[in-house]
Amino acid sequence: MPIHRTRGELAVDVLFYVFLSVAAFTTVYPFIYLLVISLNETQDALRGGLYFWPRKFTFENYLYVFENQRLARASLNSVLRTVIQTVLSVFACGMLAYVLSRKTFMFRKAFSLTLVVTMYVSGGLIPTYLLIKNLHLLNTFAVYIVPGLVSAFYIFIMRTFFEQLPDGLVESAYIDGANDFSIFTRIIMPISLPVLATVALYVAVSEWNAWFDNYLYNSRNENLAVLQYELQKMIQVVENTTSGEEGEPTSRVISPLTIKSTLTILVTVPILLIYPFLQKYFVKGLTLGAMKD
């Protein structure tokens, strides 16, 4: 639009820039605040008044977290579950989506409809819990993987993408003697990287952030705890003992305040590291999902 701006429009522009800067600042500042607290010396942080820079810079909070056996174990669990589930889930959803995208597949419509229903209808908490119990998945690592393996939403995103691929691709592979599985792994998957990356990101983020299945099914086995759950427990504990003890200079140099900030930062950083790189993909993926018909 090669339109020159009037003074009024310029003022509005300035207003917009200010407004957006404020909005962006309020979204990011809380994270900065936590970062500052986590990098500050514990007793000093309790005095408050920390805003942008740590007053007494230290890594001791991070060292404490890394040396803590329970938290180390939880980090391992979180990483394992995220990696395993991302790989398996993308593969499983991809295969299903591929079948549903083939026009020659017999029960296409019926299956799609059943899938849609799962997006809105679920057993509810208790039946699900009982099912998990009857399957002997309570207090196992598998409970993180199996129930969430396939999801209708991801399947639809992938199906939309697969449907845009030319039919001739699959047909020529058939003529060359490839079976369906090798067509899927050797032809479909390599050319579908953008959509696979999108779904992988979705799965990875939701796995990394999950804590409720841990709370519900695995809370008795400390070895299976994930990071988010450890953090959740800490919040709950501190909330229930609001103020009071934490100012007391006990033998422990670490307070719930700093340890919570440190853990929060540690839980957030992996996501921070990945997501700017994948931004292009997921924006595309999101609009792709929105246009499903």
| Smallest gap from residue 21 Cβ to other proteins (A) | 8
Q: What share of the chain is helix, strand, coil (3-state, %, to 5)?
A: 75, 0, 25
- The least distance separating other proteins from the CB of residue 226, rounded to whole angstroms, comes to 10
Q: How far is the CB of 59 from other proteins (least distance, A)?
A: 20
For residues 24 and 34, is the Cβ–Cβ distance under 8 A?
no
Query: Closest CB to other proteins among 63 and 117?
Result: 117
Cβ atoms of residues 93 and 151 within 8 Å: yes
The conformation of residue 5, written as its DSSP 8-state character, comes to: P
- Give the rounded distance of the alpha carbon of 99 from its chain centre: 27
DSSP 184: I
What are the angstrom distances between the C-alpha of 122 and each of 109, 113, 128?
Answer: 21, 15, 9
Nearer to other proteins, 182 or 221 (CB): 182
Are 93 and 157 a contacting pair, CB within 8 Å? no
Which residue's CB is nearer to other proteins, number 122 or number 221? 122
Nearest to other proteins of 3, 175 (CB atom): 3
Residue 29 C-beta: closest distance to other proteins, Å: 9
Q: Nearest approach, Cβ of 258 to other proteins (angstroms)?
A: 11
Contact 227, 235 (CB under 8 A): no
Pick 25 or 57: Cβ nearer other proteins: 25
Residue closer to other proteins (CB basis): 24 or 193: 24
Which CB atom, from 16 or from 59, has the smaller least distance to other proteins? Answer: 16
Q: Minimum distance from CB of 283 to other proteins (Å)?
A: 6
Burial category of 207 from C-beta neighbours within 10 Å (exposed 0-12, middle 13-18, buried 19 and up): buried
Taking CA atoms, 113 is separated from 100, 119, 144, 156, 176, in Å, by 11, 10, 26, 11, 34
